[in-house]
């Protein structure tokens, strides 16, 4: 059994550590408290995958020592401390965990917004610390009826907008990388004119930090805002120019600001702290118990998937120009690779051909999708040697034909991808789609309409459609102490049934053999994602 080494460079939630520890294919090294020089020079050379946070810089020296590394998981959203071009040059995939702290960041943004409007921290200080009861000093403003400008309408920005709408604010969103209907379907205003944002009463920013967004709000932009505007930044330090913000707060052009992030952190000597019309917090966007649990488990999950070659969720350096693809495409690429990997486990024979079909908007991206599917499908046989760059070459070398096609729209699903894997033993055809909030689901296998999640240990049991089969399956699994987590069932017109059984733990060969000997059984396959 092949084992992969995952090095945890910085502290993550114990739930993530337990996932790594419990996986029989993972050799887990906890190195969060190891001196960074020793980490880079002695431990990183052993790693197939590394999990990092802000305390470990993935720089030139780190990359030079990462001789065996497939991937790096940044446990969080920001990748400011990761040299992505350097990693790409060495073939190292960089992933982050962009949604794990979404709710925490959204709620902190609302906390700052409300605090700015009602000056809550200052009235609290007057009463709690100075014991002053002076109600007339603390007249604030209501969110109701105010116009909120949201810069960046992704996972966090869109949720801030939804919550602000519940306060009866009017929402104006600016994001050139999304389809306008993502905003307009929520009865909000989408704009391509940045001045519409600058005309708002409150402005909040939720973009990544890059060349395009650094100092996105500077002296010039502030001069075009209405007097008394409120600015919020719980995203990344430097999206607002701090000098320009300081001057605007001092002059009261900006009435109040809520800031969680700074250009230089710790920000204990930042001049903004000297002002009395600002609420501040020490980069607390991800600081909830729930988000730390999510970050830890998702980082571990991504590291395990990457180590095994199953998928590279939320890869930052994909082999395509991300600026040219819509946001919705990326999760389909990840799902396509998982389906390819799943199909190769169900149909464990020499691969002859891989065909990828797309219906809906995703049909425009089937060529890119086919690369990801090929990586997933061939990873079982090719192991560490296959990646996004060489997948086509390896397929050609092995005589595997890769094909893709765009089909008419599905009558049922907005977007649907279908992977047909042909081997020396036959074909396996699997279709999948993605529901709201990036929920990945299989919807058909070999003509059986069946829905289940792409995750965990799965038994695929095909049988003649006769009474008593489900009970026999349950009894057999119970006999071998295999606990069923979910059971999906489908039937076809040929008097056959297919059960997809998600179980808590790995299933051994003896259990599978006993299942195959059940009288109605036509086939049994096992897959693990």
Residues with catalytic roles: 236, 265, 283
Tokens of 373: 């599917």
Non-local (6+) Cβ contacts of 316 within 8 A are 79, 82, 84, 94, 95, 96
Q: What is the spatial distance between Cα 516 and Cα 43, in angstroms, rounded to a whole number? A: 44
Give Cα 223 distance to the centre of its chain: 37
Under 8 Å CB-to-CB from 132, ≥6 apart: which residues? 126
The length of the chain, given as a count of residues: 529
How does DSSP assign 349-413, residue by residue?
A: S-EEEEEEEEESGGGGGHHHHHHHHHHHHHHHHHGGG--TTTHHHHHHHTT-EEEEEE-PPPSS-
Query: CB within 8 A of 294, min separation 6: which ones?
Result: 97, 99, 100, 101
**37, two tokens:** 């020089």
Angle (CA) 482-488-494 rounded to 5° is 120
**What's the DSSP call for residue 43?**
I
**309 φ/ψ sector (left φ>0, alpha ψ -120 to 50, else beta):** left
Element (H, E) at 65: helix 60-65
The answer to whether residues 525 and 511 touch, using CB atoms and an 8 Å cutoff, is no
Q: What is the 3-state secondary structure (H, E, C) of 387-399?
A: CCCCHHHHHHHCC
Cα 169 to chain center, whole Å? Answer: 29
- Cα separation, 306 vs 382, in Å, equals 14
Phi, psi of 415 (to 5 degrees): -135, 140
| Beta-strand pair 416-423/426-435 | antiparallel
């Amino acid at each position: 059994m092949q084992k992969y080494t995952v090095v945890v460079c910085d502290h993550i939630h114990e739930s993530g550590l337990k996932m790594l520890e419990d996986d029989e294919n993972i050799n887990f090294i906890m190195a969060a408290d190891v001196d960074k020089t020793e980490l880079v020079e002695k431990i990183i050379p052993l790693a197939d995958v590394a999990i990092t946070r802000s305390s470990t810089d993935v720089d030139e020296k780190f990359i030079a020592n990462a001789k065996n590394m497939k991937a790096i998981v940044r446990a969080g959203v920001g990748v400011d401390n990761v040299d992505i071009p350097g990693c790409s040059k060495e073939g190292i995939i960089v992933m982050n965990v962009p949604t794990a702290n979404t709710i925490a960041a959204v709620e902190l943004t609302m906390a700052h917004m409300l605090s700015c409007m009602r000056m809550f921290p200052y009235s609290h200080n007057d009463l709690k610390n100075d014991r002053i009861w002076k109600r007339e000093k603390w007249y604030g403003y209501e969110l109701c009826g105010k116009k909120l400008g949201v810069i960046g309408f992704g996972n966090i920005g869109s949720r801030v907008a939804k919550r602000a709408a519940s306060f009866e604010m009017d929402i104006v969103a600016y994001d050139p990388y999304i389809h306008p209907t993502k905003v307009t379907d929520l009865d909000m205003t989408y704009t391509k004119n940045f001045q519409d944002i600058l005309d708002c009463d409150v402005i909040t920013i939720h973009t990544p930090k890059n060349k395009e967004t650094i100092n996105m709000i500077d002296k010039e932009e502030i001069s075009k805002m209405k007097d008394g505007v409120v600015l919020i930044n719980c995203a990344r330090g430097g999206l607002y120019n701090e000098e320009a913000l300081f001057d605007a707060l001092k002059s009261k052009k900006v009435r109040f600001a809520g800031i969680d992030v700074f250009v230089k952190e710790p920000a204990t000597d930042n001049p903004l702290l000297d002002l009395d019309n600002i609420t501040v917090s020490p980069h607390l966007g991800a600081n909830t118990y729930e988000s730390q649990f999510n970050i830890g488990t998702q980082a571990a999950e991504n590291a395990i998937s990457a180590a095994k070659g199953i998928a590279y969720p939320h890869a930052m350096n994909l082999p395509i120009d991300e600026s040219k693809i819509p946001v919705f495409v990326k999760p389909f690429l990840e799902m396509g690779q998982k389906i390819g990997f799943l199909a190769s486990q169900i149909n464990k024979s020499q691969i002859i051909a891989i065909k990828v079909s797309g219906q809906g908007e995703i049909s425009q991206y089937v060529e890119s999708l086919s690369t990801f599917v090929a990586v997933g499908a061939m990873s079982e046989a090719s192991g560490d040697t296959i990646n996004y760059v060489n997948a086509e070459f390896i397929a050609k070398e092995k005589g595997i034909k890769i094909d893709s096609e765009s089909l008419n729209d599905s009558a049922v699903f907005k977007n649907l991808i279908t992977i047909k894997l042909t081997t020396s033993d036959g074909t396996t055809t699997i279709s999948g789609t993605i529901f709201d909030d990036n929920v990945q689901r299989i919807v058909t296998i070999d003509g059986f309409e069946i829905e289940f999640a792409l995750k965990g240990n799965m038994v695929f049991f095909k049988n003649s459609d006769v009474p008593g089969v489900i009970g026999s399956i349950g009894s057999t699994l119970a006999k071998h102490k295999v606990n069923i987590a979910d059971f999906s069932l489908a039937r076809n017109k040929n008097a056959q049934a297919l059960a997809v059984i998600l179980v808590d733990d790995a299933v051994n060969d003896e259990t599978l053999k006993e299942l195959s000997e059940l009288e109605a059984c036509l086939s049994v396959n096992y897959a693990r994602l």
